[in-house]
Amino acid sequence: MTPQEIRDAIAADPTLIALRDAGNFAAIAAALPAERVPQTTLGGVGAVMEALGPVAGAEVLDALDALKASISAVKWAWVLINRGELDFGSASTRGMIQQLGQMGVFSNITGLGAQQVVDALLGIGDVSRSTTSIDVRKALLNSDGSAA
């Protein structure tokens, strides 16, 4: 979370306000939700199958395989998928996944909506990051210890 997001979350919750007033930064950090952030995550066919299940995963892979002849970016991503080296955390991969979803490429996947497919594929490259007491301290205090 950004410092402003931390301050906004505290301002919206009376319990967190009380913890802030008591200077209990660790309790505030523990109460704030973890966020999902992109991180370099190499994967391929197995990662797609694991994220979506065997039927939907195979359908997504088939859809991408069918597109590789007409969309150059998919052609080269397909090479990386087959080698297990597509970085699902990279901005370009994430942008391509979102664009393919908007194009309707994932609209006929058994049991899933297109956005669910996009979210699952993006999730391959996400990791959970908790807010720390240091994050809270930095959001609430200036370097001299005065309130931010």
38 forms bridges with which residues in the sheet? Answer: 126
- Exposed e or buried b per residue across 42-73, where buried means at least 16 C-beta atoms within 10 angstroms of its C-beta: bbbeebbbebbeeebbbbbbebbeebbeebee
Token digits of residue 105: 């490429």
What pLDDT score was predicted for residue 75?
A: 97
Give percent above pLDDT 90 in the chain: 95
Which pLDDT score, from 0 to 100, does residue 143 have? 87
Which are the contacts of 13, defined by CB distance < 8 A and separation ≥ 6?
31
pTM: 0.77
Domain boundaries, the chain: 3-34+130-140, 38-128
Q: What is the pLDDT of residue 74?
A: 97
- Is residue 135 within 8 Å of residue 1, measured between CB atoms? yes
Q: Do 87 and 124 form a contact (C-beta atoms < 8 A)?
A: no
Q: How far apart are CA 146 and CA 144, in angstroms?
A: 6
DSSP secondary structure string, 40-105? --EE-HHHHHHHH-HHHHHHHHHHHHHHTTT-HHHHHHHHHHHHT-EETTSHHHHHHHHHHHHTTT
Summarised one tens digit per residue, pLDDT across range 10-33 is 999 999 999 999 999 999 999 999
Query: Where is 15: in which H helix or E strand?
Result: helix 14-21
**pLDDT digit string (tens) for 48-102?**
999 999 999 999 999 999 999 999 999 999 999 999 999 999 999 999 999 999 9
